[in-house]
Amino acid sequence: MASNSNAAIYLVSNVVSGYGYSDGLYQNTDNSLLDGGIVAFGVFGGTGFNALDIPASIANFTTLASALAGSNSATLEGSFAGYVETSVDTANVTAPNALIGQTLYVFVGNASTLTTSTAFGLFSAGVIQDDDPNEQTYLANPFSSLSPNTLLLGEVGSFTGNIGTALNGSSDTYSTLKLTAPIPEPSAAILGGLGALAACVRRRRN
């Protein structure tokens, strides 16, 4: 995709070479590779991110660019689970744009939207800079040395297998960002338990 002068470019991509020693893939909780799950660049507003309240965190998240894992990759010349690749060229981000200085995050879900997802990954991908005088590029690779990534949700895993003969034609071991299912807040868990207990008591009385 052609880029305009002085515009932020969000590379929603974890494609480096197609080989295990350089590419970090996205992985489900059951260890399968993510296929159809959303990978979104964005920023948090409001009360920010809370690992104990994912719905509120999603509501606080503003998506700037996104793509689905397993969608077509021009570099790899095909669609491969665990991979995502698209380039989104946005309007100029120059002073006094409020985005400048905000931490940029990559929010990953196991469904086509964050709101319908049940497992997640989240890492920071640097700070949004002024596009003047030079346009900025941000990369959604959780293990890239190009950006100071910090893992906030999910865990580092691994996958061994043949991703596709179009890549290397043999089995390889890849580092992964493995999604995790959120843990409900203690208060929510307690209320759920009390509700189940009350239901049991009612059944017994009947």
Virtual torsion, Cα 45, 47, 50, 53, nearest 10 deg: -100
Backbone dihedral angles phi then psi of residue 178, each to the nearest 5 degrees: -90, 125
Contact 150, 124 (CB under 8 A): yes
Structure tokens at 171: 């089995």
**Which stretches of the chain drop beneath a pLDDT of 70?**
1-7, 19-21, 144-149, 164-170, 184-206
Give the pLDDT confidence score for residue 205 in this predicted structure: 56
Q: What one-character DSSP code corresponds to residue 91?
A: S
Q: Is 31 left (phi over 0), alpha (psi -120 to 50) or beta?
A: left
Q: What token pair was written down for 115?
A: 């709101």
The pLDDT score that the predictor gives to residue 134 is: 86
Q: Judge contact between 154 and 121, C-beta under 8 A.
A: yes
Q: Do 128 and 136 meet the contact criterion of CB atoms below 8 Å apart? A: yes
Q: In 10 A of CB 188, how many CB atoms?
A: 12
The identity of residue 104, as a single letter, is L
Per-residue pLDDT tens digits for 37-59: 999 999 999 999 999 999 999 99
Q: Is the entire prediction scored with pTM above 0.75?
A: yes
Strand duo 24-27 + 38-44: pairing: unpaired
pLDDT of residue 38: 97
Write the DSSP assignment of 114-177 as a string of letters.
STT-SSEEEEEEEE----SSS--EEE--TT-TTS-EEEEESEEEEEEE---TTTTSS-EEEEEE
Extents of the domains making up the chain: 9-205
- Are the beta carbons of 156 and 177 closer than 8 angstroms? yes
Question: Residue 201, Cβ neighbours under 10 Å: how many?
Answer: 10
How far is the C-alpha of 113 from the C-alpha of 128, rounded, in Å?
Answer: 23
Six-digit token pair at 85? 């690749």
Contact predicate 33/24, CB 8 Å: no
